[in-house]
Structure 1
Amino acid sequence: MIELGKMDKDLRGIHEASMVILEQTGMIFHHPKVIEIMQQKGIRTEGRTAFFTREQVMEWVSKAPGKFKMYARNQNYDFEVGGDNVEVCPASGSPFVCEVNGKKRDASMSDYVKFLKLYHQSSLYKANGGGVVQPTDIGQSTIPLLLYATLLYSDKAIVTGTGNAEEVEQLMDMLGIVFGGKKALAEKPRSMAIVNTNTPLQFDTKMLETMMVFNRYKQPVVIAAASMAGTTAPVTLAAAIALTNAEVLAGIAVAQMINEGTPVVYGSQSTTSDMRTGSIAIGAPEGALAYQYAARLAKCYGLPCRGGGSLTDAKTLSVQAGFESMLTLLASYSAKTNLIFQSAGIMDSYNAMCYEKFIVDLEIIGMVKRYVNGVKVDTQTLAVDVINEVGPAGQFLTTDHTMKHFRKEPFLPDVSLRGAVTGDPDQKLMDNIRIKMDKMLAGYCQPEMSMELKNRLIDYLLTCGYDRKLIESLD
């Protein structure tokens, strides 16, 4: 339910600016079918540019569900998207893997599988897949292969990549094989994809084709903008947020025109540019503010929202990587952003994934979750009777109250150093990081998949032109 009355003065100003942008400037849609659909719904178009009245935008946005449920292959990983529920989600899009010392190398399919295992092994995650890294050793379209690997190595809720209509239809074919046919997909959201705008004020062909195919089967799309204040958006943050808002609302409206009631997520990865270099600054405080405002706007529009992550522009696993990642994740979590993508492992302005940073980010997520949970105040937690019993100059370490609560009240770090440390503390910290990663990988257990289902997926990939040896090398 849209509740514009809940907007404060600043949100109202951003909303009004977005409405003017969509009505007067318009937005380009690089797909004739989408233009045709909009025309049929009464949207004014000039060539590829569409102009929306505020009434049209709000009418179509109001048709999107405020909440929906993601259904995983393993029902233990089902989760709700919307309201105040927050779920961390995988990283996406990096072409490189970064070593601790900053040296980068091309990502491979083996890296993709290794990250799938780590995300699957973490109890913090209920979703897996997508373009965690972009393998460079495949030599052809990777989209169906990445989905196949995701299905092999995880039974959590599925994130997929994006592509042209044929590639995305192949994803739906594969999901249909797993979940009882393509027609059955419309009954339950089984996968989601991120559909990005091309700021300023454009949707390209591939993104629109992804949207149309996903909408046809009522599979959720995250419609996200990633404007850069000062380069692809005005330098003032208010204007950049208003531009982001206009793009996302237009995308959500069009998604409802394509298939009314299809689940969508309001997404923002907008931030600022470094005006000394023109490069994106994903670890900047402006990005953290943009994610907070996006979540607040989305909740006033009655929409689920996506943003943030453990984001950094750092080139190595360093103090910069730590303080930037903590800021951006905390901002998103505090705003109750429903889906936080790029939540572990990302660095170097989205260019690379880092195994060691992945482990550090799990620690950051745990700390942030503990912080936002706040303080529970009741008779048990106030423990006045315990304080009276122990009295002045006593100790609480051996009390029954401590024995009852010590495993769940304080956050217990896996890698952080506390207390006395012998030897090099930096080396000890790195040892802890690698010990945890090795333990996670050693404890990984591949989910079951019947040979009949596996063979059907392999046979389908063969019809798509993939080599059998390549397919079998993923197992």
Structure 2
Amino acid sequence: MQGNLRNIHAASMKILEQTGVKLYNSEVLEIIKQNGIKVLNRTAYFTEDQIMKWIKKAPSEFTIYARNPKYNMLIGGNHAEYNSTYGAPAVTESDGTTRPALFNDYKTFLKIVHESDQFNINGGVLVQPTDLKSSESYPIMLLSTLVHSDKCIMGGPGGAKETQAVMDMLGIVFGGKENLHKKPRILTILNPSSPLQFDQTTLDTMLIYARHGQPMIIAPAVMAGTTGPVTLSGTIAQASAESLAGIAIVQMIREGTPVIYGSASSTSDMRTGSFAIGAPEGALCTAYAARLAKEYGLPSRGGGTLNDAKCVSVQSGYESMMSLLITRMEGINYIFHGAGILDNYASMSFEQLIVDIEIIDMVERFMRGIKTDQESLAVDLINQVGPGGEFLTKEHTFKHCRNEAWSPEIGIRGSYPNEKANEKIFANIEKKKEKLLSIYEKPEFSSDIQSKLVDYLIDLGIASDKIKTAMEV
């Protein structure tokens, strides 16, 4: 390891050995005790040798399988996959007003994400619908995801009961729960309760996902100055300690379970106490998470188009672009909150989702770089045209003009009245959104399996009207 990484690693090892991690789950505590981990008063203390032994059992690459194989995702190596967004309880309208998120919003996001080429995974908590009971919201959202999309599946929140229901539903769809470990179908995210704690619900979810061989992201969201040291290197070291502890525990539950080393950490705004996810410090946390994950031989998770803006604005644009560009340049494998988030995770926006899709396309064009073969260098053409000539009418230009240069769908170029520019941009956003919704087609899904899912949810006590709404286009 290079200097900074070596120092951060050493600090995280000291934290795990000297302070430890508190675990609020007696079953997990018993498992790690059986594997030689020191436990005192619910606190687990890991030596460096123990941590390094267990994290090496996690795969460096793995595949998540979609119902439609063309959306299968390889996680790890030099691959990058985008998740749209997650968890916001509100929706911000184009005029900047905010309202509670509803289940119909969730279904609209499902359709847009399904029709967007940037995403091979759908579902999860695209928004948290406030018109669904929290205890039954994710099974209903999972049903809607299965009906409206055949991409890979993002998991959602819940304790043991809700998580077991998820595995039961996947078993119905994919030929039995006992087959899930052969082809992982769902990915969930687990956040420690910083500093240095994992609560009962998180560990219940970890146990069930690991026993079914389903992948997890262990992603601390340490807030420098509030739930972690105000100095960024200290926050990164603490976050790394939390993530490594979680990954080691997953491997003790079931060796070889796919796990992603994650970071959702950033700084706190000391003037307001808010979590500043669009700050350069957040980008630095992501950069170091990517570098540390590579050293540990683990896939990595980092934030995408993160911003603290209250509405679609200049701020939502420049913060999102900075966050995503750093994420891609550092080689993050799984890009969470890839599009649509506003107000430090508090709100989702249809308009920002469309803008962020354009930002993703721009960044991906940058990441493709340039070719330096004979055709691309075009020396013979340059010599042919010579001083003072032109390239516009040449065959070489006709051949490559549609593929070489990236063109915006939202942004404006060329001559256009300045006073109407913003109106045109928002009109383009609405046009792109409506286009994606108009071309949406519900994927094929066995009616027999759908009936079995409905019967299962009714047996869980979920109201039939909610189930019907989940399945309606």
Aligning the two structures, in what range does the TM-score lie when normalised by the shorter sequence? over 0.9
Write the distance in 2 (CA, Å) between the matches of 1:386 and 1:209: 65
**Partner SS state of residue 91, structure 1:** coil
Match of 1:455 among 437, 440, 451: 451
Show the counterpart of 1:70. Answer: 64
What are the within-5 Å matches in structure 2 for residues 115-264 of structure 1?
Answer: 115-139=109-133, 140-264=135-259
Matched-pair contact (CA < 8 Å) for 2:75–2:299: yes
- The worse-fitting range, judged by mean Cα deviation, of 290-299 and 414-423 is 414-423
Write the distance in 2 (CA, Å) between the matches of 1:407 and 1:154: 31
Per the normalisation by structure 2, the TM-score is 0.98
**Partner SS state of residue 408, structure 1:** helix
**Partner SS state of residue 187, structure 2:** strand
Q: 1:160 Cα shift?
A: 1.2
Write the distance in 1 (CA, Å) between the matches of 2:291 and 2:89: 32
Match of 2:49 among 44, 48, 55: 55
Unmatched segments (≥5 aa) in structure 1: 1-6
Amino acid corresponding to residue 435 of structure 1 in structure 2: K
Among the aligned pairs, what percent are the same residue? 51
Q: 1:376 Cα shift?
A: 1.5
Show the counterpart of 1:3. Answer: none
**Partner SS state of residue 251, structure 1:** helix
- The worse-fitting range, judged by mean Cα deviation, of 187-196 and 406-415 is 406-415
CA-to-aligned-CA distance 1:275-313 (integer Å, 9 cap, x gap): 111110000000001000000000110000001110111
**Partner SS state of residue 312, structure 1:** coil
Write the distance in 2 (CA, Å) between the matches of 1:401 and 1:337: 36
Write the distance in 2 (CA, Å) between the matches of 1:394 and 1:88: 44
CA-to-aligned-CA distance 1:9-63 (integer Å, 9 cap, x gap): 0000000000000000000011000000010000000011000000000000110
Show the counterpart of 2:5. Answer: 11
- 1:27 aligns to 2:21 (yes or no): yes
Q: 1:375 Cα shift?
A: 1.6
**Partner SS state of residue 406, structure 1:** helix
Amino acid corresponding to residue 441 of structure 1 in structure 2: L
Match of 1:429 among 418, 425, 428: 425
Q: 1:398 Cα shift?
A: 2.2
Write the distance in 1 (CA, Å) between the matches of 2:272 and 2:347: 19
Write the distance in 2 (CA, Å) between the matches of 1:352 and 1:170: 27
What are the within-5 Å matches in structure 2 for residues 61-460 of structure 1?
Answer: 61-139=55-133, 140-422=135-417, 424-460=420-456
Matched-pair contact (CA < 8 Å) for 1:172–1:182: yes
Matched-pair contact (CA < 8 Å) for 2:140–2:466: no
Matched-pair contact (CA < 8 Å) for 2:136–2:462: no
Amino acid corresponding to residue 195 of structure 1 in structure 2: L
Show the counterpart of 2:469. Answer: 473
The runs of 4+ residues in structure 1 deviating greater than 4 Å are: none
- The worse-fitting range, judged by mean Cα deviation, of 417-426 and 104-113 is 417-426
**Partner SS state of residue 50, structure 1:** strand
Matched-pair contact (CA < 8 Å) for 1:90–1:130: no
Matched-pair contact (CA < 8 Å) for 1:311–1:346: yes
Write the distance in 1 (CA, Å) between the matches of 2:389 and 2:110: 49
Write the distance in 2 (CA, Å) between the matches of 1:123 and 1:260: 34
CA-to-aligned-CA distance 1:367-412 (integer Å, 9 cap, x gap): 1111122121111110111112222222212222112211221111
Write the distance in 1 (CA, Å) between the matches of 2:148 and 2:231: 44
RMSD: 0.9
Amino acid corresponding to residue 422 of structure 2 in structure 1: D
Per the normalisation by structure 1, the TM-score is 0.98
Write the distance in 2 (CA, Å) between the matches of 1:366 and 1:424: 25
